[in-house]
Chains A and B, each alone.
Chain A
Amino acid sequence: MSENHSSDLATDRAHAVDRAGSCGCSGDSGVSRRGFVAGAGTLVTMTLATGVVLIAPAQSKPVDEPASPDVRWGLLVDTSKCEAGCSACVDACREEQGWEGHGRPEQNPQWIRKVDLKETATGRTFSLPVMCQHCTHPPCVDVCPTGASFKRADGIVLVDRHICIGCRYCMMACPYKARSFVHEDIENQKPHMPRGKGCVEACTLCVHRIDAGGVPACVEKCGGAGTGAMLFGDLNDPNAEISKRIATYATTQIRPDLKLNPGVFYQGL
């Protein structure tokens, strides 16, 4: 687990225990927690000493600070650029978060998927990615009996694997089919994303990258190997590119009639 991510959760949810250990999953068994912390400490000391990284990326959040309510992270997908058959975003997410399947498509986790659409009236076709829509009013958070589904102050909807009991009511409630249940033991997990059999999971908007000042893996890959159809940014910042685009062009959200105000916008849909 990255230090950024674990610290966020500790701050946001007052959980200071190790997520990977608590959720019963194996994590990255090759590196012990103590060893990792010691190594990271050495690295930090060395880099500070040389003055190489004294200036952090502009948007990175100090690890001991909670997420800011002044920010609303969101995505904009330009469907005119998103090509059917391109799965760069899905591949990037799978690689980043390590959620490869076990050969059972209906039970495999799917944090992000490409959906091909055909408008019934006109025959026009689209292709677009669908992931957790990080709603302002997430039904998954409302229905979760233990509060394991929660929304950070910056709009990112996450699952606290410490207290997820695997009831799957959030999956029943999500209009976007964005959540997956882990049906079996998991191995070779990513250190920043501990997962566990019997818990529910979904797109985290790459919260570990965002807190480090980066962008979600899907957006990064879409801009590289993909078609540049995805844009990430702060919806609350009128000067952010995403806000300007949404203000300029007609965009929509999936099922806006439900009034959940998703943080993912689609252009050209």
Chain B
Amino acid sequence: MSATTKIVYRELDGHSPHFWRVLGGVALFVLAGLMSAFYMEHHGHHVTGMTNQVVWGMPHVFAVFLIVAASGALNIASIGSVFERGLYKPLARLSGLLALCLLAGGLTVLLLDLGRADRLIVAMTHYNFRSIFAWNVLLYSGFFGIVAAYLWTMMSRHGAPFYKPAAFAAFLWRLTLTTGTGSIFGFLVARDAYNAAIMAPMFIAMSFAYGKAIFMLIMVGVYTATGRPLGDVVVTRLQRLMGIVLAATLYFVLVQHLTNLYMEERRAVEAFILTGDTIHTFLFWVVQIGIGGIIPLVLLLHPRLGGSRSASVLASVLIIMGGLAQVYVIIIGGQTYPLTLFPGMEASSQFFDGVVNTYTPTLAEIVLGIGGMGIALALVLVACALLRFLPESLADEVIDPDHVAKIVDMADEAGNAEAAKA
């Protein structure tokens, strides 16, 4: 980016009827989610599909998805600050904001799904420091503080001197946070589907993909709806980046399953997920790998689709669908597979020993999860209307007046051609 270029940030027009219509629509989802939570709290969890066999249900799927996506959304800011890619710097404020809002949405769902959501104060004042869950509570709280400080260094003249340290702290913290989220499952020794160190790096790769997909949708949506210019440079860059992180996610999924297949004791659970006749096999192959993996990979990395807004948006939607399916298979699939209490024996009991457990989510659970997404979106909209998070323009000539992107691309192409000749 040219040293003389100045990005101008401007609030969304919070007085326009269009803004209020969108916000009102989102608020309805939030309201529905809150009502679902009240319904579940009032009646107890027997109105959900959760049981004593499948103890975490749809709210956890949405919550984990949002929390993982939150840390990934922050990476766009980190690429600009930590990795010194100037083209991403104009996106950094929205990236940080989105990270905070997604985390808030995810944590709200997690909290409202507690058996005793009214004991929030207990969760905040009683810590068992051996618990990875307790570590996560601290990691989430720290994430809010550090990312808020990071935003302050970007948006305030007084904070500017602390920009770099804040950027590095935020980057390291987000890696730690997603390591913590993955380890919630990685540390579960008893369940064959989990209990693997690879869960942590896999969750980091997942976070890159989910976070960027949500970022792309929000960015294209807001800029299109408000008529602000959005150039091809930004879209193309994000498109490629999403393609790479999606490929990384698929790589980790491959390694996770290959590792499990190598271990005799894990083959049964792998067969259950990969070749079973339950919803999980369909979700894994069709939704996670096909719809949410291969198809968006083609849409994002095919040379002819470079810069295509519709391809990017479609790929983002598919990644989110695939991501929800992936988290569903991890969380629900891992629980429906029976615990092995007695290796080498067939077990049966009145408490569902030795059988594949069933789980049918109820509407209340799904609405609560969607309500969490609504909370994240509503917070983004309100914050963008109150403070200057969004550049007035993301047109190519504004964010890349020196055509750095084009020069880099040409150099890449030349390099590729040289390599091909050699």
Q: How far is the CA of A14 from the CA of B53 in the complex (A)?
A: 33
CB pair B52–A171 under 8 Å, yes or no, is: yes
Contact of B132 among A104, A141, A143 (CB under 8 A): A143
Chain A positions within 8 Å of B160 at CB level:
none
Chain A positions within 8 Å of B46 at CB level:
102, 104, 107, 183-184
Q: Considering only CB atoms, which chain B residue lies closest to A104 in the complex?
A: B46
Extra inter-chain contacts (11) besides given A106-B53, A141-B130, A255-B190, CB under 8 Å: A104-B46, A106-B52, A113-B349, A114-B349, A114-B350, A143-B187, A145-B126, A145-B134, A163-B126, A171-B55, A184-B44
Contact of A113 among B345, B350, B358 (CB under 8 A): B350
CB pair A181–B45 under 8 Å, yes or no, is: yes
Whether a CB of chain A sits under 8 angstroms from the CB of B191 is yes
Q: Considering only CB atoms, which chain A residue lies closest to B134 in the complex?
A: A145
Q: How far is the CA of A108 from the CA of B351 in the complex (A)?
A: 9
Whether a CB of chain A sits under 8 angstroms from the CB of B119 is yes
- Number of interchain pairs (Cβ within 8 Å): 179
Q: How far is the CA of A185 from the CA of B115 in the complex (A)?
A: 12
- Residues 171-194 of B, flagged 1 when their CB comes within 8 A of A and 0 if not, give 000000000000010011111000
Contact of A173 among B190, B335, B344, B351 (CB under 8 A): B190
Whether a CB of chain B sits under 8 angstroms from the CB of A46 is no
A183 touching B339 in the complex, CB below 8 Å, given contacts A120-B345, A164-B116, A165-B115 = no
Contact of B353 among A104, A115, A165, A255 (CB under 8 A): A115
- Residues 183-226 of B, flagged 1 when their CB comes within 8 A of A and 0 if not, give 01001111100000000000000000000000000000000000
Interchain residue pairs with CB less than 8 A apart (8): A145-B134, A164-B116, A165-B114, A165-B115, A165-B122, A168-B55, A184-B46, A198-B115
Q: Closest CB of chain B to A175's CB: distance in Å?
A: 3
CB pair B344–A119 under 8 Å, yes or no, is: yes
Whether a CB of chain A sits under 8 angstroms from the CB of B131 is yes
Q: Dominant SS at the A interface?
A: loop
Q: Closest CB of chain A to B113's CB: distance in Å?
A: 9
Q: Considering only CB atoms, which chain A residue lies closest to B53 in the complex?
A: A106
Whether a CB of chain A sits under 8 angstroms from the CB of B123 is yes
CB pair B52–A118 under 8 Å, yes or no, is: no
CB pair B344–A120 under 8 Å, yes or no, is: yes
CB pair B45–A175 under 8 Å, yes or no, is: no
CB pair B133–A169 under 8 Å, yes or no, is: yes
B24-42 contacts to A, CB under 8 A, are 41
Q: Closest CB of chain A to B50's CB: distance in Å?
A: 8
Whether a CB of chain B sits under 8 angstroms from the CB of A153 is no
Q: Dominant SS at the B interface?
A: loop
Q: Considering only CB atoms, which chain B residue lies closest to A148 in the complex?
A: B126
Chain A positions within 8 Å of B7 at CB level:
none
- Residues 195-209 of A, flagged 1 when their CB comes within 8 A of B and 0 if not, give 011111000000000
Tally of chain A residues near chain B (CB < 8 A): 59
Contact of B342 among A117, A166, A183 (CB under 8 A): A117
A163 touching B339 in the complex, CB below 8 Å, given contacts A117-B345, A117-B346, A198-B114 = no
Tell which of A108, A121, A141, A166 has the most Cβ of chain B within 10 Å: A166
CB pair B52–A107 under 8 Å, yes or no, is: yes
Q: Considering only CB atoms, which chain B residue lies closest to A169 in the complex?
A: B133
CB pair A115–B347 under 8 Å, yes or no, is: yes
CB pair A139–B190 under 8 Å, yes or no, is: yes
Q: Closest CB of chain A to B192's CB: distance in Å?
A: 11
A94-142 contacts to B, CB under 8 A, are 102, 104-110, 113-121, 126, 130, 139, 141-142
Q: Considering only CB atoms, which chain B residue lies closest to A23 in the complex?
A: B116
CB pair A181–B115 under 8 Å, yes or no, is: yes
Q: Considering only CB atoms, which chain B residue lies closest to A124 in the complex?
A: B345
Whether a CB of chain A sits under 8 angstroms from the CB of B127 is yes
Whether a CB of chain B sits under 8 angstroms from the CB of A182 is yes
Chain B positions within 8 Å of A145 at CB level:
123, 126-128, 131, 133-134, 137
- Residues 336-364 of B, flagged 1 when their CB comes within 8 A of A and 0 if not, give 00011111111111111100011000000
A216-251 contacts to B, CB under 8 A, are none
Chain A positions within 8 Å of B357 at CB level:
106
CB pair A172–B188 under 8 Å, yes or no, is: yes
Whether a CB of chain B sits under 8 angstroms from the CB of A61 is no
CB pair B341–A255 under 8 Å, yes or no, is: yes
Q: Considering only CB atoms, which chain A residue lies closest to B358 in the complex?
A: A106
Q: How far is the CA of A258 from the CA of B352 in the complex (A)?
A: 22
Q: Considering only CB atoms, which chain A residue lies closest to B184 in the complex?
A: A169
CB pair A144–B128 under 8 Å, yes or no, is: yes
Q: Closest CB of chain A to B224's CB: distance in Å?
A: 40
Whether a CB of chain A sits under 8 angstroms from the CB of B51 is yes
